[in-house]
Structure 1
Amino acid sequence: MEAVVRTTSFQHYLDQLYARFLDVRDGDVANYIPELAHVDADAFGMALVTVDGHVYQAGDSRTPFSIQSISKAFTYGIALEDQGPARVAEKIDVEPSGEAFNSISLEPKTGRPRNPMINAGAIVATSLVNGEDAAARLERILAKFEHYAGRPLGINPAIYESERSTGHRNRAIAHLLRNYEILEGDPEEPLDAYFRQCAIEVTARDLALMGATLANDGVNPITAVRALPSPLVPNVLAVMATCGMYDYSGNWIFQVGMPAKSGVGGGVVAVLPGQFGLAVYSPRLDAKGNSVRGIAVCESVSRDFGMHMLRVTRTTTHSVVRNTYTLADVHSNLQRDRDSALALREHGHRALVLELTGELMFVAAEVISSTVADAMSGRDWLILDLARVMAVDNPGGALLTALMDELIDAGKIVVIAGSDGHFAFRQAVRVHFNGRDAAPVFDYADVDRALEYVEDRILESIGLPSHEQRQVHLDEQPLCKGLAADELDLFRSLLDEQSFRPGQVICAEGEAADFVYLLRHGRVRVSLTLDNKHNHRLGAYTAGWVFGESALFSDHNRSADIIADTNVSLYRLDPARLEQPKDARIAALKAKLFANLAELSLDRLVRANHEIRVLTK
C-alpha cells in the first residue's frame, strides 16, 4: 500500500512539542480566585493560526477556560477605538511597570496607571468602552471579542462570582482610581464589567485566532471580519510586547521576541505580526503568574523556527504558490516520441509541480506545506520551482526542510529546481540529509530540466525504454503515417542517413534552411546564443520527431542552433527532391507528407495552447 503524507510538517512539529512538554508538572494553579483552584491542573492544549487562516492544534485545544488578564489587551483596543488614542493616553500610560499584575502602580501626581496590562490600567480601559452601564459595556466587549474569536463567547458565572466576591484588592484599586478622578462616577460599575470580562471563556484555538487577527492587521483571517481598525493594531501589539507578561516582560521579549499576553487562568497568546497567532493553555503557573508550559512552548517555537520579531525584516506574500500543475498537463521542452508522450499524459498526474514566488518566510512555507499535504496523496514526485523566489529565511527554510523530511520518509521523491540563488538554504538542506539514503535532488538550474528528469523516471517506472535506447525507424516516423509500402520505399530513396556525436552542430543559426531532418535515434537540442555568450535551450527532440521543416518553404534561414546532445542518427531530406511535378508518385507522396506535417503542427499547437492555459490560470 502506498505511504500517504497525512499531516503537514508543522502539525507534526506541534504534536511533538505537545508530547515533549506533556509530563511537565512544574508550577501551581491560581488559588487567589477560589474557583480557579478547581480546574484540571494537568490540562494542556495549544493552537497556532496563520494569517492565511490555517489552523494547527494539539492536546486540549478546545477545552474552555477563563480568559482572565489576556482580555486586557483586547479591551484596550476597544477603548482606543471608542475614545481615540489621545483620550485614552490621558487616563492610562504605556510604560512598563516591572511589577506584578495586581500591583498598585500609579503615577504619583496624576494617578494614571502605568500601562493597560496591569489590573489598574485594565479597569480604566474597561471604563472607557462605550456603554451606558456595566451591562452595555460588557455587551460591546463580548461582541468585539467574538469578532476576534469568530464565534459566540460566554461568561463562566461561577468564576465571575468567585472573582467578584474575593476581589478586594481590585476593588481598592478602583476606588483609588476614583480618588484621582481617573475613573469617573461609581467605580463599582466598571469594576463589575472588568470582573465579568475576565470570566469570559475561551479555548486555546480561540486565543490563537484572536492573536492571528492582530497578526493580520486586525482582520480575522478565517471570517474576514475586521475586529480592530488597522491604525490601532500597532498600539495594542506595542503594549503587549513591553508589558504583556508583567514583570517577566523583559525576559520574554529577550527570549521569545513576540508580543504576548498571559492570564492566571493558564492561557498565553503570542503574536508574530504578519504571520500567526500562537496560544497555549496550561493552568500550572510560575511565581510571576505565567503558564509554565505556555512559556516553554513559545520559547521552543521561537527558537526552533527563529521567530523572534527583531529577526523578521521582510513581509511575506500570500501568493507564494504562483501555480500548481502536474506532468499530465505540462511537459518539459523535450519533445518525445508518440508512445512516450501518451504515457506521460496517462501517468503524469503522479508528479506535482509547485511554482513558488516571493519571499519564503514561515507563513509562506506553511502555505506550501498545507498545499503539498493536500495534494501529494497518490503522487510520487514533487518538483519545487524556486526560480522566482527572492529569499528563503531561516524559519521558512526549516519548515520546508521538515516538509521534505516527511515526504521522503513517505517514499516520495523531491526535486528542487532553480535554487542556485539560495546557497544557504541548499547548504542547510544538504547538511540535514547528509548520510541519509534518500535526499532531495538539487541538480537542476531550471524547472524544464527538472521536468525532463522526472519524465525519464516515470517512463522508466512503467517499463518504456529511455530516449537514449529508443530507435524510431522510417516506417514508425509520424511524418510517414499512412504511407503504403511502395510510398515508403520511394521516400526512403529520397533520403540520406547521417550521424553526429555529442556536441556536434547539425544546423547553425543564420545558415540557409536546406534540409528537413527525421530523428531516428538520440536527442538533439535547439539552442539560442544570448548576449554573445549565454546558450539558452529553447527545446529538445528525441527519436521520432521531425525538425528543420522550414526548409520545405523557400528562402528561410535557421533561427537557432540544433546540436546533438547524444550520439544521433537521422534521416535527411533535401526538399528539392520533392520538386518533380511530372512524377505523379512523388507528387502524391509530397501531398501526404505535407498533410502529416500539418497534423503534427496542429497537434503541437493544441498541446502548446493547453499548456499556456495551465501555466497562466
Structure 2
Amino acid sequence: MDSPIENYLRRIHAEIAGMKDGHPYSAIPAMANVDPDHFGIALATADGYVYEVGDTREEFSIQSISKPFTYGLALSDLGMDAVDEKVDVEPSGDSFNEISLAEGTGRPANAMINAGALTATSLVKGSGGRSRFKRILDTYSAFAGRSLDVSERIYASELKSGHRNTALAYLLRSFGIIESDPKPIIEDYFRQCSVLVNARDLALMAATLANGGRHPLSGDEVLDLFSVERVLSVMTTCGMYDDAGSWISNVGMPAKSGVAGGILAVLPGQVGLAVYSPPLDEHGNSVRGVAVSQRLSSDLGLHFVRAARTGRSAIRAIYDITATPSGIRRTDEAAEILAGHGHRVQVIELNGDLLFAGAESMVRALSDLPDEVEIVVADLRSVDEVSDVAIRLIAEAEDMLRRDGRELALVDVEGSVTDALQELGRDTASFTTRSAAVEWCENRLLEGHGSELVLPASINPADSPALSPLRPEEAGLLQDMMEERTYDDGDVVRRVGQRFGGVFFIVSGHITTSMPGPDGSRVKLATLGPGMTFGEMAMGEDKRQETTVKASGPLKVMVLTADSIDELAAKDPILSMNLWKALTQDAYTRVEQYLREAAVRIHD
C-alpha cells in the first residue's frame, strides 16, 4: 500500500515546484551555475524512516548548515562555559555575514553567524592522530550515517573569493577570540562549508538531533544530550539569521539554512526535515525550502507549540487474531477456517499521543502490511490525544486500504475518532471493545473464506456441535423432548444464582454471557450463536447458574429442561449417559477456549 505521507509530500512538491522566485547564490563562483530547478524534500522520523520526494540524492555543499554541528563538537570537547567565553548565544538580528561582535570584547553574538562559526571552528582541536578538520568531517559523517566528502572545486572557489570571512577571522584574532594563526582556521572553515551532502543526509542529521544526539539507524551517540539541547536552542533563536522571528512564528522548529539551497529543521523527539532548492530569498534562505517548511508545519502540526510531546512510535503491538480470538464458540469447520485465515486480520495496538509522529508510525505500519492482510483493527484504547493531522492521515490510510480491497476497523471506546472520521465522510467500522471488533473480523473471514454453512442463521439442536458425538436417531430423540422458547433483544434468559434449568440449544440469534466484575460492573465473557449451548455449567456441585445470559437481538432456543433430563435418565439410561459424555466433551472444548482468551481479556 502506498504511504499517505509520501502521497502528501508528492502533492506539496508538485505544488511548490512552480515557485520561480529567488536566485541561486553567486558570490561563490563555483556555485553560480547550479540548476535552479533542483528540488528535493526529505522527512526523517526519530526512528530513522526517511520519506523522500524529488531530487533528494542530488549533492550540494553544506555551507552554513555545517555551523550547528561544528558548534556541537566544540561544546562536547570543551563544555558550555569554555565555549560561552568565546561565543555568545544571543540573536544578532543581522545577516549571516555581518560582523556582529560585542563592543570591547569582540565576542560574536552566536555560533550561527559567520563570525561565531569561525570561532567555533577554532575551538575544535586535533585529537588521537586526527586533524581538526578530520574530526569535523567525521562528526558530519556520523550525523549523516555515511562517509561524506569535500568538493575541492567549491573549496578552492571559497578560498579565492571569501575575503569577508578572511577579514572576520583576523578581526577575531585581534580581539583574542581566535587565539592562534587564523589562516589554517579559515581553511578548515571553508572546507567544512564545502562538504557535500544531499537532502537525505540532512534529514538524517536533523533526525539525529531530534533523537537526542543518537543516530536513529546506527544507534551511535553522535553528540551528548546537553550539547544537543544547547545547539537546538541556538538554532531556534539564531539559525535563520534576520528572518529568525518570522521563522519561529510560522514554522516553529529549530532550523539552519545554507546558501547552496539547503534547509534543515528539527522537531525534537519527532522528525527531521530537509529541503534542497537553490534559489534564495533576500535573507539567504531557500525560497522553496521556506515554503515547504511553512506548509508542513501547518498541515502536519509540526510547530513546537502544537507538537511538544515525544514522537516515539505509538505502536505497542501488532498481531493477528489467532492470538486474540473472540469469545464466540465456533463450529469445528469455522474454527478450522479461522485458524487457517486468521493471519489475514492484523490488530495494531496504539498508545500515547497520536500527533504527527505517532500517526506516522501507524500509517507506516499499515503501508508495510503483507498483501494477504484483508482487515486491520486499530486499537485506540490506550491512546490519549488524537490530533487533527492524525485524523486526516487515518482517513487517507483508510481510503488506500479500501482501494486495495481491504478494510479498517477501530476499537474506539469514546467514539471520538469515529465521529471525526464520519465528519470527513468515512463510515469506519467501530467497536467499544476489542472482543467485539475481533468477532466482527472473524465473521468477515468466515463469510469470505467459508461456505454458507459456516455461519448459518439457524441450526436445529440435532445438528448442533454439542450433540455431534451421538447417532442421528439419538440426537433426534433428544430434540423431540425439548421446549421451544423465544426472547426479544435484551431479555434476560438466565440470571446468576438461578438453579439449574436445563440445557439450552440456540436455534437462531445470539446470546451474551456476563458476570459481576471486581468493581461491580458487568464483565462480558462470551457471545454464542446458532448451534451453541448454554446452561449445562449449572449442573455443577451447587447446581446454580454462574453467569447472566441475555438475548442479543431476537433469539430462539430449544431447552432440554431439568425435568426432561431426569425423565431421560429413568427411561433410557444409555442415551442419558451418551448425552452427558457429549456435553462433557463440548464443555472441555469450551473451557480450553476460555483459558486461551483469559490472558487476552486482561487488557480489555
Identity rate, percent: 39
Structure 2 residue aligned with 1:99:
94
Instruction: Give how far 1:376 is off.
Output: 5.6
Partner of 2:165: 170
Q: Equivalent of 2:178, from 164, 179, 183?
A: 183
Kept in 2, the 8 Å contact 1:144–1:227? The answer is yes
User: Alpha-carbon deviation of 1:132?
Assistant: 6.7
Secondary structure of the 1:523 match is: strand
Q: How does 1:598-613 map to 2 (within 5 A)?
A: 598-608=584-594
Match of 2:582 among 570, 578, 596: 596
Aligned to 1:537: 524
Query: Within 5 Å, which residues of 2 pair with 1:112-511?
Result: 112-131=107-126, 136-318=131-313, 320-375=314-369, 377-420=371-414, 423=416, 425-433=417-425, 439-441=426-428, 443-461=430-448, 464-465=451-452, 470-492=457-479, 494-511=481-498
CA distance in 1, matches of 2:177, 2:210: 31
Distance (Å, rounded) in 2 between the aligned partners of 1:612 and 1:301: 45
Report the secondary structure of 1:11's partner residue. helix
**Which sits farther off after the overlay, 562-571 or 228-237?**
562-571
- Classify the secondary structure of the residue corresponding to 2:253: coil
2:347 partner SS: strand
Aligned AA (1:223): S
CA contact (8 A) 1:329 1:345 kept: no
Distance 1:165 1:565, change over 3 A: same
Instruction: Provide Cα deviations, 1:464-497, integer angstroms capped at 9, x if missing partner.
Output: 5599962222331222123224433553455433
* SS at structure 1 position matched to 2:490: coil
Q: Report 1:15-26 matches (<5 A).
A: 15-26=10-21
Matched, 1:513 2:500: yes
8 Å Cα contact 1:518/1:547 also seen in 2: yes
How far apart, CA to CA, are the structure 2 residues paired with 1:531 and 1:612? 15
Contact preservation (8 Å) 1:244, 1:260: yes
Paired letter, 1:226: E
Change (3 A) 1:485 1:287: closer
The one-letter code matched in structure 2 to 1:113 is P
The amino acid across from 1:400 in the alignment is: I
Is the contact made by 1:93 and 1:115 (CA closer than 8 Å) also made in structure 2? yes
2:424 is paired with a residue whose SS is helix
- Given the superposition, is the C-alpha separation of residues 64 and 545 from structure 1 closer, same or farther in structure 2, using an over 3 Å criterion? same
Q: Counterparts of 1:614 and 1:178 in 2: how far apart (Å)?
A: 69
The whole-number CA distance in structure 2 between the counterparts of 1:543 and 1:52 is: 48
Shift of 1:144: 1.2
Q: Calculate the TM-score normalised by the size of structure 1.
A: 0.91
Distance 1:476 1:253, change over 3 A: same
Find the residue that maps to 1:43 and give its secondary structure: coil
The one-letter code sitting in structure 2 at the alignment partner of 1:589 is: L
What letter is aligned with 2:172?
L
Answer whether contact 2:467 2:583 (CA < 8 A) is retained.
no
- How far off is 1:38 after superposition? 2.7
SS in 1 for 2:132: helix
Distance in 2 (alpha carbons) for counterparts of 1:387 and 1:58: 34
Give the letter for the 2:72 counterpart: G
CA contact (8 A) 1:351 1:379 kept: yes
Distance across 1 between alignment mates of 2:592 and 2:155? 70
Q: Which amino acid aligns with 1:261?
A: K
Deviation at 1:571, TM superposition (A): 2.9
The Cα of 1:538 is off from its aligned counterpart by: 2.3
Change beyond 3 A, Cα 1:612–1:152: farther
The CA deviation at 1:546 is: 1.7
Residue 77 (str. 1) matches residue 72 (str. 2)? yes
Give the C-alpha shift of residue 443 in structure 1.
Answer: 4.3
Partner SS state of residue 41, structure 1:
coil
Specify which of 514, 528, 537 is matched with residue 515 of structure 2: 528
The 1:77–1:485 alpha-carbon spacing in structure 2 relative to 1, beyond 3 Å, is closer
Structure 1: distance between partners of 2:238 and 2:110: 7
133 and 106 in structure 1: CA distance in 2 versus 1, 3 angstrom threshold: farther
Aligned length: 603
Q: After superposing the two structures, state which structure 1 stretch, 512-521 or 528-537, moved more.
A: 528-537
Alpha-carbon separation, structure 2, partners of 1:272 and 1:197: 25
> For each residue in 1:64-108, what CA deviation from the matched residue of structure 2 results, as whole angstroms up to 9, or x when unmatched?
111000000110000000010000000000111111111111001
Amino acid paired to 1:292: V
Give the Cα separation in 2 of the matches to 1:442 and 1:162: 62
CA-atom RMSD in angstroms:
2.7
Counterpart residue identity of residue 234, structure 2: V
State the shift of 1:605 in Å.
4.6
CA distance in 2, matches of 1:333, 1:485: 29
Distance 1:119 1:449 in 2: 62
Instruction: Provide the rounded CA distance (Å) in 2 between the counterparts of 1:532 and 1:224.
Output: 45
CA contact (8 A) 2:92 2:238 kept: yes
3-state SS in 2 of match to 1:12? helix
Which digits, 9 at most, give the CA deviation of each residue in 1:22-74, with x for residues without a partner?
23222111111110113222111111110121110011111111100000011
Q: 1:509 to 1:358 in 2, by over 3 A?
A: same
Of 410-419 and 243-252, the range deviating more from structure 2? 410-419
**Structure 1 pair 559/474, CA: closer, same or farther in 2 (3 Å)?**
closer
CA distance in 2, matches of 1:204, 1:375: 28
Contact in 2 for aligned 1:77/1:236 (Cα 8 Å): yes
One-letter amino acid of the counterpart of residue 174, structure 1: A
Cα pair distance change 1:477/1:466, threshold 3 Å: closer
Deviation of 1:578 after TM superposition, in Å, equals 5.2
The whole-number CA distance in structure 2 between the counterparts of 1:504 and 1:282 is: 69
Structure 2 vs 1, CA of residues 428 and 563 (structure 1 numbering), >3 Å: closer, same or farther? closer
- Structure 1: how far apart are the matches of 2:117 and 2:602? 52
Residues 470-527 of structure 1: CA deviation (Å, up to 9, x unaligned): 2222331222123224433553455433332332221111212332222222211113
CA spacing shift, 1:314–1:124, aligned 2, 3 Å: same
Contact 2:569 2:576 in 1 (8 A): no
d(CA) in 2 for partners of 1:52, 1:445: 31
TM-score of the aligned structures, taking structure 2 as reference length: 0.93
Instruction: Give the AA of the match of 1:273.
Output: P
Between 1:484-493 and 1:370-379, the stretch displaced more is: 484-493
Amino acid at match of 2:369: A
Pair 268,419 (structure 1): closer, same or farther in 2 beyond 3 Å:
farther
1:259-288 per-position Cα deviation (integer Å, ceiling 9, x unaligned): 000001111000000101000111111111
Alpha-carbon offset, residue 159 of structure 1: 0.5
The Cα shift of 1:133 comes to 12
